[in-house]
Structure 1
């Protein structure tokens, strides 16, 4: 994270790569893929790992199809399949550089070719893998750990890298239960295999916690459960400012329909309870929210709207 990117309170960024034939900067991508914000003295950068094309039934497998279709129509979204954003966060607090989640990595033969962009986008943002002192994982689904399994990544990371994850999460993936999920074919096997490989490769660097752990000054990870038994959120606080990275506890549909069950939730009822609790907390405190699958860069506030909630995007500061 360069000082130029970290100075403004919020900074939208568009990537460039070398020069074109006329000597002008050549656009590497036509849309921004990173966005920086400051929380007091903590530097935060949200980086897009791309998008996951998934069936819309994943939004709410406990909702009537007609009701779900009506919500999609109201949101100007396609009824059959849509692109789920995939956001990752890099935090710098004091001398520590912390990667929160690691994206999908290589496409696990599930036709997800537009995700897995994190490693090259870290490079484009000037973030060296060797500078990362800590990794915090909200949970061990493959779209949160896969980037650490890309060829050459482990060798580029520090030997003393600390990977923080809830003990309950690692325990769950020893014999994961998919009986209450509703995923497309192939996903359970891919999730199970990726989690197993990750734990095997990084076992010696895992730093397990039970309920809560302070990773760095003003950076605290707390287990919520619900989405998975060890699912966790990360709270940032500095100089009276606060931001929560909620991982997969909050999806875009969860503001309007917090009781709808996402297909990847291993305990849907508990996930809904966690979601409502967190959204109420965010509405009460006024702190900013970032989540994995909210539209990039996902920085927003939460307001109460009757029995549901309202997503209030933060205006980009150029």
Structure 2
């Protein structure tokens, strides 16, 4: 059974890694495990393509990051509540000819943590970009899953990917085609497992998924709430630059203005409650809190507890 204690303990068959790739914590009575799927090397312009280059350069210089390209973190989450074991997003999985060799590590790292895929009762997909669904498309994975698995996705997300619109995105060459192909394959493989929702759904006691829109029409966040403690997994609603520059447009956003409104609203809410935040592309393990001064925000990383 998944718990903080056994998931945080090295498995004899664990991957030989020099840096940690999983981080366990509790939110009230709910066990949470953040698992790194690796990193994506992408152009820095993707984090603010509506900003002037001099402004982007200033931000990256201030963060001691290279100006041209850097590694985006890829985080997923495993949650244990009552008799549910819930995987939130599934990582990149395969490399669809985009030369991303350091991503797609989630399934191997779950195994190294002693997680048997048959334990997973539910999967929540924050949105259907390939770095959130691809892990389920690896060869042999479908056969290892629980036959009663339920995959929760917003209905508007499923509808969008029937004929996706990329006119307002700003992606490197090859990405739109890869995203279309991966979403199409995912639907073909897993449609019978998918349970759509309109606005929100309680997946398990204390685990609720809510559609936000913005990044994609059905983009969703997951809130874990137990015994007065809470954590929100924000998917792609928040990127590292989004605290200082919440109105900068990310290249993967299909509706950039709405994505900025969603981001600002979410950050205000989290600053008001003081609850924990995690997100796909914040530096691993991405656990922290938000402070705010008007619409200027600051990410406050949690001190690691081990």
Whether TM-score is above 0.5 comes out as yes
Matched pairs, number: 306
CA distance in 1, matches of 2:165, 2:112: 38
Residue 306 of structure 1: CA displacement?
4.3
Residue 3 of structure 1: CA displacement?
4.0
Whether 2:137 is the aligned partner of 1:149: answer yes
Aligned equivalent of 2:51, options 51, 63, 70? 63
Aligned equivalent of 2:146, options 142, 158, 161? 158
**Alpha carbons of structure 1 residues 216 and 73: separation in structure 2 relative to 1, 3 Å:** same
Structure 2 partner of 1:95: 83
Structure 2 partner of 1:288: 276
Residue 305 of structure 1: CA displacement?
3.2
CA distance in 2, matches of 1:81, 1:15: 33
CA distance in 2, matches of 1:15, 1:118: 16
Aligned equivalent of 2:226, options 200, 216, 238? 238
Q: Which runs of 5+ in 1 are unaligned?
A: 19-25
Residue 4 of structure 1: CA displacement?
5.7
Whether 2:163 is the aligned partner of 1:175: answer yes
Decide whether the 8 Å contact of 1:61 with 1:182 is kept in 2. yes
CA displacement, residues 246-274 of structure 1 (integer Å, 9 cap, x when unaligned):
00000000000000000000000000000
Structure 2 partner of 1:5: 5
Residue 158 of structure 1: CA displacement?
1.0
Structure 2 partner of 1:21: none
CA distance in 2, matches of 1:107, 1:265: 21
CA distance in 2, matches of 1:4, 1:163: 24
Structure 1 partner of 2:98: 110
Could you say what secondary structure the match of 2:268 adopts? helix
**Alpha carbons of structure 1 residues 16 and 108: separation in structure 2 relative to 1, 3 Å:** same
Q: Which runs of 5+ in 2 are unaligned?
A: none
Decide whether the 8 Å contact of 1:16 with 1:28 is kept in 2. no
**Alpha carbons of structure 1 residues 166 and 2: separation in structure 2 relative to 1, 3 Å:** closer
**Alpha carbons of structure 1 residues 97 and 130: separation in structure 2 relative to 1, 3 Å:** same
CA distance in 2, matches of 1:46, 1:129: 16
What pairs with 1:30-41 in structure 2 (closer than 5 Å)? Answer: 30-41=18-29
**Alpha carbons of structure 1 residues 160 and 15: separation in structure 2 relative to 1, 3 Å:** same
Residue 311 of structure 1: CA displacement?
0.4
Aligned equivalent of 1:195, options 174, 183, 186? 183
CA distance in 2, matches of 1:52, 1:139: 17
TM-score (norm 2): 0.97
Could you say what secondary structure the match of 2:243 adopts? helix
CA distance in 2, matches of 1:3, 1:141: 29
Residue 86 of structure 1: CA displacement?
0.1
Considering only aligned residues, what root-mean-square deviation do their CA atoms show, in Å? 1.4
Residue 159 of structure 1: CA displacement?
1.1
CA displacement, residues 110-137 of structure 1 (integer Å, 9 cap, x when unaligned):
0111000011100001110000000000
TM-score (norm 1): 0.94
Structure 2 partner of 1:273: 261
**Alpha carbons of structure 1 residues 237 and 28: separation in structure 2 relative to 1, 3 Å:** same
Structure 1 partner of 2:115: 127
Could you say what secondary structure the match of 1:50 adopts? strand
Structure 2 partner of 1:75: 63
Structure 2 partner of 1:305: 293
